Structure 1
Amino acid sequence: MVFKRLLGAIGVGCPSVDTVLDDEAVLPGGALSGQVRLRGGGTAVEIEEIGLELLARVEAEHEEGESEGAVAFERYVVGGGFLLGEDEERSVTFSVTVPWETPVNELYGQPLGVVLGVRTELAVADARDRSDLDPLIVRPLPVQEAVLEALGQLGFGFRSADLEHGRIGGTGQRLPFYQEIELTPPPRYAHAVTDIELTFLTTASGLEVVLEADKRGGPLTPGHDALTRFTVRHEDVPVLDWNSEVDGWIRRVTEHREAYGAQAYVHSASHADHLAVHGSFPGTGATAVASAAGLGAGAVGGVVVAEVVDEIGDFFEEEEEEGGDDEEEGVEAEENEEY
């Protein structure tokens, strides 16, 4: 019996854990549900806690350059406090709410290259803790989809998407990182900007849309960045003329004369500002965003769907093996720096 406990302490014969999610994808602010399936090992053990962590691959800028690390941006306790018998099988169901600011990493079945994961942690008394890692797929909310749809209709193309560590000043941002979706401009704006970066900061009531334009310089003036933000509500989805609304945003940011870092312009959409009413969005515009960047056949930015799924496991597992905690602390050390 003493030898059996020793084997358990070094991980031999420990319980196994496998998390199965109910749905293929979730929405920001929506429910993430599933089952944590446990199987006992060679001896009964006390399961102290079952935890779920949401992880993201985040880029950070340093004086030495850029680095990337895994950041846990939400954690839940979904069970624990029971004895798991030898070879016993048990399932623990859960349903948790993901943060409203959870980044989007899939659009109309196309992965955007943003790596997210769900890590299950099993705290076991007198034995090595166990874990399981699963990909997390997040699709846009209707209001986010409406904005992307309009951008596609206006001729913008998708270039890339990533997660940047830091905060955007003057916004209600809650997470220690934000998502940037980089778009290529159509010909009508190409003379003014080289690209536009889009950030969604979502809450229960609506959406802050942050637009950053990389403005071209002239013969006597250097290029610079212009930052502008706008707000819309979830209930605005069926009532706004989104092409007109978003085109107005683009015109404001491209005409913005303030230098990068200035106080952002704030505009709240209201029903009185709009004459046309549209009730549905078929998705052709957002699909055009992907098509314009050559994102057909299940590839985004040269990353095939299956490769993205594999990358999730490879990245976070390497983080654990190579001292990812230290790297994450390095990322968190800059958390208070503003955009």
Structure 2
Amino acid sequence: MVFKRLLGALGVGGPSVDTVLNGGPVMPGGTLYGQVHLEGGDTDADIHAVVLELVARVEAEGGHGYGYEDEDGEHEGVVVFDRTVVGGGFRLPAGARHTVPFSLPVPWEAPVTELHGQSLGIALGIRTELEVAGARDKGDLDPLSVAPLPAQEAILEALGQLGFGFTSADLEMGHLHGTGQRLPFYQEIELTPPAQYAHAVSEIELTFLAHPAGVEIVLEADKRGGLFSEGHDQIGRFSVDHATVLQVHWTAEVDSWIRRLVERRGGFGAPAAHGHDHGYGHGHGHHDEHHGSGMGVGTAVAAGAAGLAAGAVGGYLLSEAVDEFFDDEDEENEDNDEADDNGDDEEDEGGDDDWS
């Protein structure tokens, strides 16, 4: 990779930056390794801090006045969900090159972006911020790939074995009440049911909330109404320990979860065979009503013995949606640079906002 772009807020002739991640996806709870490459500009620069931010494009109903509004009236914005100083306190001579190696812990609740190398359409990135002589500039944005944990992969594979099809995946702003959620958003993976469930359920939404000991699984079934009853959402929560993943027959286990959701008449769950299954509510009240299309991607993933990632994944279309996220960010950075070049020398005070 080349040094990607001049840091506009630091002025023409300032240093440039490029962040290179070590190959392959990372898992939730894992460690991200890489290097930040700096190249000096026309004059010496005192590098106060090299900061890495983990960012995600997240949807929010109502939008709270932030982000970008899509075709369906929902709002999207870029959320910073981790921020770490990886270096600083050195002088970068004019024209000199300097490398800052780093190891960055990945939050356990980091959303899954791919399955068997196929994109799910989730836009995550790692953004580099340089602080030089009191000025700050977000100088580089690189895509971040997150592969599922063994428990997450086993559950997704089991759903594929049962005939569920992938519809879309997205990130929703808000908290799931009654869970151990720590990030300000959660991931929803939307699935279409196979024939044996289609008469009772129109859609299943799946959320993983991983932690050091295991994974919370939240399932929401959009149940169809009958002649004398309206449709409603049925919710269940289950827990899986990392240590027992290989001891479970996952197809049978997940099938039992789905059957319990389909057969229940109340709104919440009953005790689960492996771990815990509790009723829960939703912090912002929008989850029960939301059945969106993720990032505008309605691509179906063929289900079958090989799991959700088998067959025609439509990875090209999903990758295009993710690329748009980074293109939009680059255009916004370029617009900001032009504003700086036109005489706006005020320091950006909005860098710490969750939405940008």
What does residue range 164-203 of structure 1 map to in structure 2 within 5 Å?
A: 164-203=172-211
Tell me how far 1:326 sits from its aligned partner. 7.6
Please say which of residues 29-38 and 307-316 is displaced more in the overlay: 307-316
Residue 237 of structure 1 aligns to a residue whose secondary structure is helix
Task: Tell me if 1:49 matches 2:49.
Answer: yes
1:111·1:308 contact (CA, 8 Å) conserved in 2? no
Match of 2:274 in 1: 269
Compared CA separation, residues 318 and 253, structure 1 to 2 (3 A):
farther
What does residue range 1-339 of structure 1 map to in structure 2 within 5 Å?
A: 11-62=11-62, 65-125=73-133, 129-259=137-267, 263-267=268-272, 269=274, 287-291=306-310, 294-295=312-313, 298-299=315-316, 302-303=317-318, 305=319, 307-308=320-321, 310-318=323-331
TM-score (norm 2): 0.78
Residue 147 of structure 2 aligns to a residue whose secondary structure is coil
Partner Cα distance (1:12, 1:286) in 2:
56
Partner Cα distance (2:63, 2:42) in 1:
51
Residue 253 of structure 1 aligns to a residue whose secondary structure is helix
Tell me how far 1:25 sits from its aligned partner. 1.1
Tell me how far 1:100 sits from its aligned partner. 0.2
Deviating beyond 6 angstroms after TM superposition, the runs of 4 or more aligned structure 1 residues are 321-328
Amino acid at match of 2:153: E
Residue 272 of structure 2 aligns to a residue whose secondary structure is strand
Partner Cα distance (1:15, 1:326) in 2:
22
Compared CA separation, residues 60 and 329, structure 1 to 2 (3 A):
farther
Match of 1:280 in 2: none
Compared CA separation, residues 88 and 326, structure 1 to 2 (3 A):
closer
Instruction: Provide the aligned C-alpha RMSD in A.
Output: 2.7
Match of 1:337 in 2: none
Residue 267 of structure 1 aligns to a residue whose secondary structure is coil
Partner Cα distance (1:212, 1:178) in 2:
14
2:9·2:137 contact (CA, 8 Å) conserved in 1? no
Tell me how far 1:104 sits from its aligned partner. 0.3
Compared CA separation, residues 251 and 321, structure 1 to 2 (3 A):
farther
Amino acid at match of 1:94: F
Compared CA separation, residues 96 and 146, structure 1 to 2 (3 A):
same
Compared CA separation, residues 287 and 11, structure 1 to 2 (3 A):
farther
Compared CA separation, residues 193 and 175, structure 1 to 2 (3 A):
same
Residue 72 of structure 1 aligns to a residue whose secondary structure is strand
Tell me how far 1:73 sits from its aligned partner. 0.4
Compared CA separation, residues 266 and 93, structure 1 to 2 (3 A):
farther
Partner Cα distance (1:9, 1:169) in 2:
41
Please say which of residues 124-133 and 221-230 is displaced more in the overlay: 124-133
Residue 61 of structure 2 aligns to a residue whose secondary structure is strand
Aligned residue pair count: 303
Compared CA separation, residues 14 and 321, structure 1 to 2 (3 A):
closer
Q: For 1:156-204, what per-residue CA distance to the aligned partner results, in whole angstroms no more than 9, with x for missing partners?
A: 1100000011111111010111000000101000001001000000000
Could you tell me the percent identity over the aligned residues?
57
Tell me how far 1:295 sits from its aligned partner. 1.5
Q: Structure 2, unaligned stretches of length 5 or more?
A: 1-7, 65-72, 276-302, 337-347
Tell me how far 1:328 sits from its aligned partner. 9.7
Q: For 1:81-115, what per-residue CA distance to the aligned partner results, in whole angstroms no more than 9, with x for missing partners?
A: 10000111010100011100000011111100110
Tell me how far 1:311 sits from its aligned partner. 2.1
Partner Cα distance (1:247, 1:327) in 2:
46
Compared CA separation, residues 215 and 320, structure 1 to 2 (3 A):
farther
Amino acid at match of 1:27: M
Compared CA separation, residues 87 and 202, structure 1 to 2 (3 A):
same
Tell me how far 1:320 sits from its aligned partner. 5.1
Tell me how far 1:310 sits from its aligned partner. 2.4
TM-score (norm 1): 0.82
Q: Structure 1, unaligned stretches of length 5 or more?
A: 1-7, 271-283, 333-339
Match of 1:336 in 2: none
Partner Cα distance (1:286, 1:9) in 2:
52
